[in-house]
Structures are given as C-alpha cells and as structure tokens.
Homo-oligomer: A and B are copies of this chain.
Amino acid sequence: MRIDNVETIKDLARGAVLLGTGGGGDPYIGQLLLQQEVREGRHVEVITAGELDDEALVVSVAGVGAPTVLVEHLQAKGVCRSLLEKMEKHLGRKVDAIIPAEVGGLNSIIPLALGAQAGLPVVDGDGMGRAFPHIEMVTYSVYGSRACPMVIENELGDSIIIDHATSDRKVEDIARVVTGALGAMVYSALYPMSGADVKKKAILGSMSYCLEIGRGIREARAECDDPFDGLMKILNRPEIDRHARILFDGKIVDINRETRDGWHFATVAMRGLDNPDEAFVIETQNEYLTARKNGEIACIVPDLIASLDRETAEPVTGEKLKYGQRLKIIGLSAAAIMRRPECLEVFGPAAFGLTDSFTPIEELA
C-alpha cells in the first residue's frame, strides 16, 4: 500500500484519532509533516509483516510526553532522522523498516512521515492496536522483545540512549523523567526487533484498519443519512471478530482534568439527550480506560472507547472535549491477541489500578 496523496493521509489520521481511544496525541502535526513529504514528491510504502526478511532490523518510532506541547514544536523532521542514525550507530547496522509502537493518534503518523523522509517502508502493524500511556504496554514487550536500546531526542538535539534496563517498566520510568528534563515532548526510537519477531508479536493490519475507518467515515457522510450507519458496518463485523456498539448518545455535563506524574487524568460525565436521567462517565489516563452507564461498566480497557461528534462522526481526542459537547461514544473490541491473559496482565484493568475485571465488549449488554 502506497501513501502518496493528501486525501489518504487525512483518512488515515481520522481513523488514528478513533483508535487513539481519546489519547495518542492529536495527529494534526504529524499529518502536516507527512503531507509536506507527499507534496515534495516523496511517498511511503506500507508493507505487510510477511514481506519482511526474518533477519530484517525493524525499529519503532514514537513521540513521548505531553502531546499538547508538540503543537509548538514542528521541528520533528531533523529529529526523527537523527534518531534512526543514532540507533544504527549504536546497533552497528542499518534499519530496514519502521513499525509504529501504537496505532492511535500522532504515533501512527510520525512513523509514516519518517518512512517517507528516510525512504524506509513502514510495517502494517503496531504493538497496541490502539494507544496506551506506557512504553511497556505493547505486545512486543509481552512476548519478549525489549524496549532498549531506546534513543530519545528533543528538537534541540539533546539526546540520550537507554542502553539497558532491568524491565521495560523501568524504561518507562527513566524515559518519563528524561522527557521532563528535555522539555516535556521528545521523539524516540525503541523496540529494535527482527522481522521474525514482528511477524510473531505485532498486531497485524492495524494501519490498514486505521485507513479503512477514516475512509469509511468520509464515505458514510456522503452516502448515509447518519454517518454512524456506515461506520458501524466497518467496526462491527462479528464474522472477522470485530465487535462494536454505540454505547451512548449524549452531551458533556462535567469534565475534571488533572495532570499528575506526567500523565493526563480526566473524568468526563455525560447525560443522555433523549433521556436526561441516563448518566454516563468516562475515566481517562491519557487514553479512555472505562465507560460506565448508570454505574455499570459499558466498556473497559484494553477494549477501545471512542468519542465522536454526534452529527459528523468525526472522532474527537480527549483533550478537545468541552462542556456541552454532543457526542456519540462507541465501544470497540481490542485485537484478539490483546485480550490474552499475559497481555491483560500488562495493560488490562489492574495495570491501571482498576478493580473491575476485564469483560469483552460483546459480552457487556
């Protein structure tokens, strides 16, 4: 799949916001970088994992930190190339392909922009099938790949390499404080893996899914009275193990936001439009973690919760939510691999301090 035009990029970014499940960073800046590449005649080739040599060196590239800071720092171009060069120098070999760490939001677009700049293919896959707030919350880590060596750099050229850590959770702790010292938003290259690793450990097809969603929303606006009709036909396809449901249709009546320990925490309260007695609450740590309707769990991490404008079905990130906004909230099933016990241990409810256990969206009525 070749990404070489602005419409495709916009579709992809729209899908990325939905899979970002409230977080993942607004892909707007990433879009601009990628559009610039395309306008200058470059393109990026998105390849399937199957096309990789087993011995290929594949590296993830991601922004780390407070996404709101990014908007003021559109200098990512030089930084990302330098990340690859430093990783190559440290490992003593060339990088063959890039793979996103997460598919949601900004971090699905940054790898594509870098792929176009560096002439490297980007693998159609990622390690979350969504966005998560921690570096260790990827299938790569659950199945034995290591985040280190991880190269971190800011737009001033300050750079560090986390060479070795006793756990990927420790990498997260180090990266979090380093990010603070380097100015709250940094770029990173991490999880160097072999092609064989990627084939076994990645969530495959997540970039195409992103594009399918974003394009589907655009087409549904033209073709359907209610664009959600078209969108749900894509998201809810039980025959290929995709489950989705509109959880709520209402407006925001209260938002509590707090930035703590480098994360953005929020509680969003909504009321039903038709039935004002219906109460709906979303809990957030960068990304949406739980949705409760009248106190009962309606969707819970790692399943995805997405907030969309109720008229246009445009996905909206959590940081853009505001009082009075009218939204439809959708619950989506996570990829099957994400629901395995060893994965739930790392990014299931308990990993976020929640006492609720995981129940798949298709079993919650």
Main secondary structure of the interface of A (DSSP, over half): mixed
Residue from B151, B165, B181 in contact with A174 in the complex, judged by beta carbons closer than 8 Å: B181
Closest to A82 in B: B164
Contacts of A163 in B (CB 8 A): 86, 151, 159-161
Contact with B along A149-166 (1 / 0, CB 8 A): 001000011111111111
CA distance A162 to B161 in the complex (A): 6
CA distance A166 to B174 in the complex (A): 20
Tell me whether A165 and B170 are in contact in the complex, defined as CB-CB below 8 angstroms, given that A178-B177, A180-B177 are known contacts.
no
A309 interface residue (CB < 8 Å to B): no
Residue from B160, B166, B182 in contact with A160 in the complex, judged by beta carbons closer than 8 Å: B160
CA distance A170 to B158 in the complex (A): 8
Q: Do A161 and B158 have beta carbons less than 8 Å apart?
A: no
A241 interface residue (CB < 8 Å to B): no
How far is the CB of A189 from the nearest CB of chain B, in Å?
A: 12
Contacts of A159 in B (CB 8 A): 162-165
Tell me whether A160 and B161 are in contact in the complex, defined as CB-CB below 8 angstroms, given that A174-B182, A178-B178 are known contacts.
yes
CA distance A160 to B188 in the complex (A): 14
Q: Do A174 and B160 have beta carbons less than 8 Å apart?
A: yes
Closest to A86 in B: B163
A345 interface residue (CB < 8 Å to B): no
Which residues of chain A (112-165) have a CB below 8 Å from chain B?
151, 156-165
A173 interface residue (CB < 8 Å to B): yes
Contacts of A86 in B (CB 8 A): 163
CA distance A163 to B151 in the complex (A): 9
11 A-B pairs with CB atoms under 8 Å apart are A86-B163, A158-B165, A158-B170, A159-B165, A160-B160, A160-B161, A160-B162, A161-B161, A173-B181, A174-B181, A176-B181
- Add 14 more A-B contacts to A157-B164, A159-B164, A159-B165 (CB < 8 A): A86-B163, A156-B166, A158-B165, A158-B166, A160-B161, A160-B162, A160-B178, A161-B161, A173-B181, A174-B178, A174-B181, A176-B181, A177-B177, A177-B181
The 10 closest A-B pairs by CB, nearest first: A177-B177, A161-B161, A159-B163, A174-B181, A158-B165, A159-B164, A160-B162, A177-B181, A173-B181, A156-B166
